[in-house]
């Protein structure tokens, strides 16, 4: 691994990447619309929120004076990961709801279906496309351009695509003595490879399948359709009707079914897909795994790629469609076309390439052509930045774009999964199963056609804001609740509770006629304070922000008779202060917790830690939950930062890094600290704790059957449970507490007031009202009085409040150690993480390599002290306007110090 690549994750931790926004020259306005008032609504997934900015939409509005675009966020997901429907009526109802929500709609192959077009829900764009002299079809990748054209209709304008290929591990193929796969392979070749590559347990059961379609149903259906080499529709009929009974398809399906039953093929995806040597996968997924987005996979061996059978690739195409219920079809079409020209959208984390050739060399996609700087697979921007295709497979990606199979050619392929289910459930052979699902497909198509014209489709006009009385204002507030509190689309998980708090506040606050909440992903105060009166964030950003953009809250707090500084839990208020000024109001706190499975505890005879537990009780529980060496680790942390290790060490009486002093006190080799470290790491080495490299940041995930894992208090988990998934029965409890120290770590939900707020007093009163309603947040109240409030107990339940009270008592104990949160909403705390890097590397050496602990800790202490001495003068003045430049310079100095004291810093094998 190269030095630059292996260290990139540490540079990312320092947040030194600066996004340079490029603007396009505004086009001349279309005065044909200047006298009209047109309100268009645009529906996109929530992940597009930071890409589709008001500035971007303003460019379109400048071209068409009198047009206003209102953005809404939908629960539409990417490529089939959204909620499923069991019947055709459910699917059609969902499509009807989608097209009634906005004039212009983000679509992909999971949301724009044949049935939806047969029902007349989507506007046929063919007349508009054919009469538009400014739309150059030659600018689009041909297969991408054709993807949403069928039955003489043109249903969506594409803007981006992913490429689905066959990827494989050459080392595994060489070890098995197999030739590498190519586009000439048949289903029998794949069957032989799957069986030869599968790894088995000693008892003959499958340990690791040889072949997977990674993302489950979508890729499986695509692969089977391509493997069979035949279309699944009758082109001689209009509209095209389903045709699934074909000898080649029958044989392919029968062989595939047998492979799945043997366990040598993982067709559903998930699990340990990354260990499987042969995969059908999109480039966006492969790039994520290849470059270490998942901690367990950061060192994955280089894989090669091949086109799919027949010399084609699969395509997952993102596009914009127009609702058949729009009142403004021509203008909606113009908006959809405009959006396809934006590189911010076209290059994103779910794609390998823009749909348009003209975007291959834009600011967000800086390669000059396929595979080179800014071509397909080049680095990009929107939705969090584009995926980079690894050099070793870039030529195949380029071939895949040229030889892609349009989405239109995959119509009715979803019925292949239904056929496999039919075979498994009813014991049918492949031919019988295909006959059953063909009849189902024909029936469902007829049901969709029968709906055509029976529904008066109508897109509700977008809400343009509340009606205010003279002298009233509408307070604007940006709310980021993190993934825990975000609901569907632009709503919150507990929207009704927010609505009630707002209604009560508006009724009692003079001069305020409305509060406009906007759900955001951003945590940048400089950006948010320029657009909103108040800001609510899921973490404390005071230490790292330009505080000149928000108000010092002390004058407001000091004149508030309802606010008692001594009522705030622990040292929470102190953490929100800088330069002896308070910059944020504490709204809630989010403690780090453990979660356990009461069923497994009962089975093993382990007492539940209802009132917390000691370190001895914790160790006893681990030993009772793991009776045999072959049993899985009972404690499987879901903690990408490894903070749980530092919390357990503190509970066992060790403070190798003492954050109670400034700077932190480093004492890795103190005998008491060594003993505490050894006790915790020995549990990991013995298999009681599932351990991943503590010195490498990543995306750790708990085992599916873990008896104990990590987590936070989250009352909103129920809102995000996929349909059909069993109810979560895990119970939250405290970390074990030691005889010397109690230990806790928590994040603070914070409220800020913009320095340019319309009415600072009104904004403060609103934040105070929010703080008085802890049910709005997934954590616990930030004030002691609310912890014991009868109304809170009644609303949240005695069991939840009992945990609040335990945490409150712990935080008031002078022997409690409050550790910094290493993985807040804004990412891991890079300053603390690098300070702990060598300590964590010593942990890795001891647990994973059997190194001498005292020697490893001694070396780590020496390097850490040298690093801290080097960085002693590195500071960021958050009151200055050039905070971004200061951060970049500070990060460069920190990295120079780290590599100066240890040239191996950040390197991985």
Give the burial string for 716-732 (b: 16+ CB within 10 Å, else e): bbebeeeeeeeeeebbb
pLDDT the model gives residue 72: 85
As a whole number of angstroms, the distance between CA 260 and CA 234 comes to 29
- The residue ranking higher by pLDDT, 382 or 718, is 718
Place 806 in a pLDDT band, splitting at 50, 70 and 90: confident
Place 854 in a pLDDT band, splitting at 50, 70 and 90: very high
CA dihedral in degrees (136, 138, 144, 150; nearest 10)?
A: 70
Place 73 in a pLDDT band, splitting at 50, 70 and 90: confident
Average the pLDDT over each of 185-189, 396-400, 456-460 and give the range with the smallest value. Answer: 456-460
As a whole number of angstroms, the distance between CA 753 and CA 760 comes to 7
Q: What is the pLDDT of the chain when averaged over all its residues?
A: 83
Residue 375 has pLDDT above 70, yes or no: no
Alpha-helix residue ranges (DSSP H) falling in 626-754: 643-651, 671-685
pLDDT the model gives residue 273: 62
- The residue ranking higher by pLDDT, 15 or 776, is 776
140 forms bridges with which residues in the sheet? 356
Residue 487 has pLDDT above 60, yes or no: no
pLDDT the model gives residue 875: 67
- The residue ranking higher by pLDDT, 684 or 362, is 684
The structure tokens listed for 65 are 């004076």
Mean pLDDT of 283-292: 54
573-594 pLDDT tens trace: 998 999 999 999 999 988 888 9
With contact defined as beta carbons under 8 Å apart, do 707 and 596 qualify?
yes
- Note if the pTM is more than 0.85: no
With a pLDDT cut of 70, the percent of the chain lying above it is 81
pLDDT the model gives residue 907: 63
Place 813 in a pLDDT band, splitting at 50, 70 and 90: confident
What CA–CA distances, in Å, run from 695 to 308, 725, 839, 848?
A: 39, 34, 8, 12
As a whole number of angstroms, the distance between CA 777 and CA 587 comes to 8
pLDDT the model gives residue 286: 57
- The residue ranking higher by pLDDT, 85 or 47, is 47
The structure tokens listed for 364 are 């967000």
The structure tokens listed for 410 are 């995959």
Residue 30 has pLDDT above 80, yes or no: no
DSSP 8-state assignment for residue 314: E
148-180 pLDDT tens trace: 999 999 999 999 999 999 999 999 999 999 999
Place 116 in a pLDDT band, splitting at 50, 70 and 90: very high
pLDDT the model gives residue 486: 46
Residue 285 has pLDDT above 90, yes or no: no
pLDDT the model gives residue 82: 36
The structure tokens listed for 562 are 């309802």
As a whole number of angstroms, the distance between CA 192 and CA 189 comes to 5
H or E stretch at 665: strand 665-666
Mean pLDDT of 605-622: 93
pLDDT the model gives residue 569: 87
pLDDT the model gives residue 824: 41
pLDDT the model gives residue 723: 44
- The residue ranking higher by pLDDT, 5 or 390, is 390
């Amino acid at each position: 691994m190269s030095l630059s690549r292996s260290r990139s994750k540490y540079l990312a931790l320092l947040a030194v990447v600066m996004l340079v926004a490029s603007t396009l020259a505004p086009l001349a306005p279309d005065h044909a619309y200047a006298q009209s008032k047109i309100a268009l609504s645009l529906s996109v997934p929530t992940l597009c929120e930071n890409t589709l900015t008001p500035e971007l939409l303003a460019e379109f509005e400048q071209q068409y004076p009198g047009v206003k675009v209102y953005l809404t966020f939908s629960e539409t997901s990417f490529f089939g990961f959204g909620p499923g429907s069991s019947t055709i009526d459910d699917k059609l109802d969902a499509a009807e709801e989608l097209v009634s929500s906005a004039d212009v709609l983000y679509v992909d192959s999971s949301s724009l279906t044949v049935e939806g077009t047969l029902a007349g829900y989507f506007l046929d764009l063919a007349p508009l496309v054919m009469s538009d002299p400014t739309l150059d079809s030659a600018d689009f990748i041909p297969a991408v351009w054709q993807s949403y054209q069928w039955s003489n209709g043109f249903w969506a304008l594409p803007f981006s695509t992913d490429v689905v290929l066959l990827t494989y591990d050459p080392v595994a193929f060489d070890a098995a003595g197999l030739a590498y796969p190519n586009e000439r392979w048949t289903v029998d070749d794949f069957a032989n490879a799957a069986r030869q590559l599968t790894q088995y347990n000693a008892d003959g059961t499958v340990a690791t399948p040889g072949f997977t379609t990674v993302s489950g149903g979508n890729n499986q259906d695509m692969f089977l359709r391509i493997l069979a080499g035949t279309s699944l529709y009758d082109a001689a009929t209009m509209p095209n009707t389903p045709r699934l009974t074909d000898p080649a398809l029958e044989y392919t399906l029968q062989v595939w079914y047998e492979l799945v039953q043997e366990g040598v093929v993982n067709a559903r995806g998930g699990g340990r897909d990354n260990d499987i040597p042969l995969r059908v996968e999109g480039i966006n997924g492969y790039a994520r795994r290849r470059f270490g987005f998942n901690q367990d996979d950061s060192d994955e061996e280089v894989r090669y790629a091949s086109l799919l059978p027949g010399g084609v690739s699969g395509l997952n195409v993102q596009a914009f469609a127009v609702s058949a219920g729009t009142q403004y079809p021509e203008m909606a079409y113009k908006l959809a076309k405009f959006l396809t020209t934006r590189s911010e959208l076209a290059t994103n984390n779910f794609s390998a390439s823009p749909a348009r050739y003209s975007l291959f060399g834009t600011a967000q996609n800086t390669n000059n052509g396929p595979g080179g700087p800014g071509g397909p697979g080049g680095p990009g921007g929107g939705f969090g930045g584009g995926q980079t295709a690894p050099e070793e497979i870039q030529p195949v990606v380029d071939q895949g774009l040229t030889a892609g199979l349009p989405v239109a050619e995959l119509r009715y392929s979803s019925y292949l999964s239904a056929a496999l289910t039919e075979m498994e459930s009813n014991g049918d052979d492949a031919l019988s199963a295909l006959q059953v699902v063909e009849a189902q497909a024909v029936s469902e198509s007829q049901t969709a056609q029968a709906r055509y014209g029976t529904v008066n489709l109508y897109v509700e006009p977008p809400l343009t804001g509340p009606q205010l009385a003279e002298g009233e204002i509408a307070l604007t507030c940006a709310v980021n609740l993190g993934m825990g509190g975000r609901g569907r689309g632009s709503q919150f998980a507990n929207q009704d509770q927010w609505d009630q708090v707002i209604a009560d506040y508006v009724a009692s606050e003079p001069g305020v006629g409305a509060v406009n909440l906007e759900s955001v992903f951003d945590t940048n105060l400089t950006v948010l304070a320029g657009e909103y009166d108040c800001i609510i964030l899921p973490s404390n950003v005071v230490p790292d922000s330009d505080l000149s953009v928000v108000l010092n809250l002390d004058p407001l707090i000091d004149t508030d008779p309802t606010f008692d500084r001594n009522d705030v839990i622990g040292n929470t208020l102190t953490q929100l202060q800088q330069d002896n000024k308070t910059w944020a109001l504490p709204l809630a706190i989010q403690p780090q917790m453990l979660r356990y499975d009461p069923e497994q505890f009962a089975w093993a005879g382990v007492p539940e830690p209802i009132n917390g537990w000691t370190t001895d009780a914790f160790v006893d529980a681990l030993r009772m939950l793991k009776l045999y060496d072959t049993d899985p680790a009972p404690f499987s942390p879901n903690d990408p930062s490894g903070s749980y290790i530092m919390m357990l060490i503190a509970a066992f009486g060790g403070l190798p890094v003492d954050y109670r002093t400034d700077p932190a006190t480093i004492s890795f080799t103190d005998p008491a600290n060594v003993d505490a470290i050894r006790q915790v790491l020995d549990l990991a080495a013995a298999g009681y704790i599932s351990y991943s490299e503590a010195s490498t940041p990543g995306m750790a995930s708990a085992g599916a059957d873990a008896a104990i894992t990590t987590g936070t208090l989250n009352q909103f988990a129920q809102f995000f449970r996929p349909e059909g998934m069993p109810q979560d029965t895990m119970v939250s409890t405290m970390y074990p507490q030691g005889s010397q120290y109690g230990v806790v770590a928590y994040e603070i939900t914070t409220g800020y007031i913009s320095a340019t707020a319309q009415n600072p007093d009104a904004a403060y009163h609103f934040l105070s009202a929010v703080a008085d309603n802890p049910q709005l947040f997934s954590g616990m109240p930030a004030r002691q009085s609310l912890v014991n409030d009868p109304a809170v107990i009644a609303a949240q339940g005695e069991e939840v409040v009992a945990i609040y009270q335990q945490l409150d008592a712990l935080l008031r104990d002078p022997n409690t150690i409050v550790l910094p949160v290493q993985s807040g909403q804004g990412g891991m705390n890079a300053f603390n993480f690098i300070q702990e890097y060598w300590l964590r590397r010593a942990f890795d050496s001891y647990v994973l390599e059997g190194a001498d602990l005292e020697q490893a800790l001694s070396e780590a202490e020496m390097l850490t002290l040298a690093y801290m001495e080097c960085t002693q003068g590195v500071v960021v003045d958050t009151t200055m306007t050039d905070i971004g430049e200061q951060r970049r310079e500070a990060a460069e100095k920190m990295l120079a110090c780290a590599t100066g004291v240890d040239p191996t810093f950040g390197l991985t094998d």
